[in-house]
Amino acid sequence: MTTTNDHTVDRDLIATVISLFAAKSGHDVVIKAEEEGLLPSLWASVSELGLPLVGIDDTAGGSGGTLLDLLAILHAAGQHAVPLPLSETHLAAWLLSEAGQQVSDGPMTVVPGTPKDTLALTDGVVSGRAYDVPWARGVDRIVALVNDSSGAPYVVTIDPGACEITPGTDLAGQPRDVIEVKDLAVEAVSSPVDRDGLLLRGALVTAAKMAGALETIATLTRGYTEERVQFGRPISKFQAVQQHVVTLFQMATMASLNVSRAGRTAMDGPASFEICALKQVVDKNASIAIRAAHQAHGAFGMTQEYRLQQLTRRLNAWRSEFGDELQLASRIGKAISNAGKLEHVIVGGSAVLEV
């Protein structure tokens, strides 16, 4: 097991990232991305710093850095609603590098894999459809895990130009498409990561983005309630309004701390319990926080012109990605019910029980 010292974050890098996102991903930029899709200049500014490939070993063509660095970057991206496929590019690069492949620059996405998907691999040829693929329009490469006839997982890279893409959008207005390929010859590499491994990694990085968004809606709401005056005083003076702010900080603090915790556990070994618990908690916190933030903002928060919606819509979209509340809770509960040791799992985590 590694020591606590290895669980460090590159603080300088993160500080740079936060100010970059703050400067480059303002309200108008997010609106523009919603209209136009992936903004090449925005991508270029993060790509220059190597951000999309942090957390991928430099020997594989990545930018180096740890999983915790990656999570901190995605947390910051969530804080600023950065309209780029950063976590998607990470997941694609991660699948490739785990399978011994080199990665290169450029936005990528990953096929999350829904029960409806029909993508299948036969003799180096892929056919079928995949649903809910984020950012398929606009990326350079689509990476998918597909099973061969024996059920073994392979990593394949698909050129978006070689697919038929049916555009769709998620709740935040970001691309989420259906792709279809017919008899496409691909290079397929045997993957050490299976579908569940991708789900866990996806849940972890999504939770990091969500925690960031929760932090922002908490500070945004506190600021708003201090400025908005009703009955002759700032509404922040009313206890009932304070409750909403308190709730928001509770949800955000709980989410952010536990992203770091689960990330640290994942660096040391299996973390299926921690990651499922994290995403379950953050999904639940998101639903509570969204309601509290909008309630405290009144009608103003419901408008397109105000920042809040950019974050709450993202939270709503991410809640259902890589496992939702019910699915993750069922998975954890089933495992614990079979093992029959609740407290040991709560304090011992995946070292006691992988779920």
Partner 1 sequence: MQLEATELTEAEMALQMEVREYLQQRLPAGTYEVGLGMAANNDVEFSKDLGAKGWLGMALPKEYGGGGRTAVERLIVVEELLAVGAPIGFHWVGDRQSGPSIAKHGTEEQKQAFLPGIASGELGFAIGMSEPDSGSDLASLRSRAEKIDGGWRINGTKIWTSGAYQATTILGLFRTSEHKHEGLTQFIIDRNVEGLTISPIPFIDGTRHFCELSFEDVFIPDERRLGEVGGGWAQNTGELVLERGGVDRWMSLMPILEWWAASDAVKNSPGAQADLGAIAARSWAFRGMNLAVARMVDDGKSPVTEAALIKEMATRFEQESLDTVARHYGRAPDLNSDDPHESLLARAILVSPSWSIRGGTNEILRTVIAKGLGK
Is residue 69 involved in binding partner 1 (CB under 8 A)? no
Token digits of residue 355:
């779920």
Token digits of residue 253:
């603090």
Closest distance to partner 1 from the beta carbon of 221 (Å): 11
Closer Cβ to partner 1, 128 or 234, answer by number: 234
Is residue 239 involved in binding partner 1 (CB under 8 A)? yes
Closer Cβ to partner 1, 161 or 340, answer by number: 340
Is residue 163 involved in binding partner 1 (CB under 8 A)? no
Longest Cα separation, the chain: 73
- Near partner 1 by CB under 8 A: residue from 40, 257, 291, 300: 257
Closer Cβ to partner 1, 285 or 312, answer by number: 285
Is residue 258 involved in binding partner 1 (CB under 8 A)? yes
CB 290 within 8 A of CB 315: yes
* Burial readout 102-137 (b: 16 or more C-beta within 10 A, e: otherwise): ebeeebbbbbbbeeebebebeeeebebbbbbbbbbb
Is residue 145 involved in binding partner 1 (CB under 8 A)? no
- Near partner 1 by CB under 8 A: residue from 274, 296, 301, 318: 274
Q: Which of 54, 75, 14, 26 is nearest to 210 (CA)?
A: 75
3-class DSSP assignment, residue 39: coil
CB 88 within 8 A of CB 134: yes
What number of chain residues touch partner 1 (CB under 8 A)? Answer: 51
Is residue 345 involved in binding partner 1 (CB under 8 A)? yes
Q: Which of 112, 86, 93 is nearest to 177 (CA)?
A: 112
The C-alpha atoms of residue 21 and residue 37 are separated, in whole angstroms, by 17
Phi, psi of 8 (to 5 degrees): -100, 160
Closer Cβ to partner 1, 148 or 268, answer by number: 268
Closest distance to partner 1 from the beta carbon of 343 (Å): 4
Is residue 333 involved in binding partner 1 (CB under 8 A)? yes
Is residue 331 involved in binding partner 1 (CB under 8 A)? yes
Listed ranges 91-99, 155-163, 310-318, 325-333: which one lies at the site for partner 1 (CB under 8 A): 325-333
Listed ranges 30-38, 131-139, 198-206, 246-254: which one lies at the site for partner 1 (CB under 8 A): 246-254
Is residue 299 involved in binding partner 1 (CB under 8 A)? no
Contacts of residues 236-240 at CB distance under 8 Å and 24 or more positions apart, as own/partner, are: none
The C-alpha atoms of residue 264 and residue 350 are separated, in whole angstroms, by 12
Is residue 5 involved in binding partner 1 (CB under 8 A)? no
Is residue 174 involved in binding partner 1 (CB under 8 A)? no
Token digits of residue 322:
């890589």
Closest distance to partner 1 from the beta carbon of 236 (Å): 8
Q: Which of 275, 222, 277, 272 is nearest to 250 (CA)?
A: 222
Length in residues, the chain: 355
CB 201 within 8 A of CB 113: no
Is residue 295 involved in binding partner 1 (CB under 8 A)? no
Is residue 291 involved in binding partner 1 (CB under 8 A)? no
Closer Cβ to partner 1, 13 or 108, answer by number: 13
Question: Given the DSSP bridges, would you call strands 153-158 and 141-147 parallel, antiparallel or unpaired?
Answer: antiparallel
Closer Cβ to partner 1, 147 or 327, answer by number: 327
Instruction: List residues near partner 1 by CB under 8 A.
Output: 4, 7, 222, 236, 239, 242-243, 245-247, 249-250, 252-254, 256-258, 260-261, 263-265, 273-274, 276-278, 280-281, 284, 325-326, 328-334, 336-338, 340-343, 345-347, 349
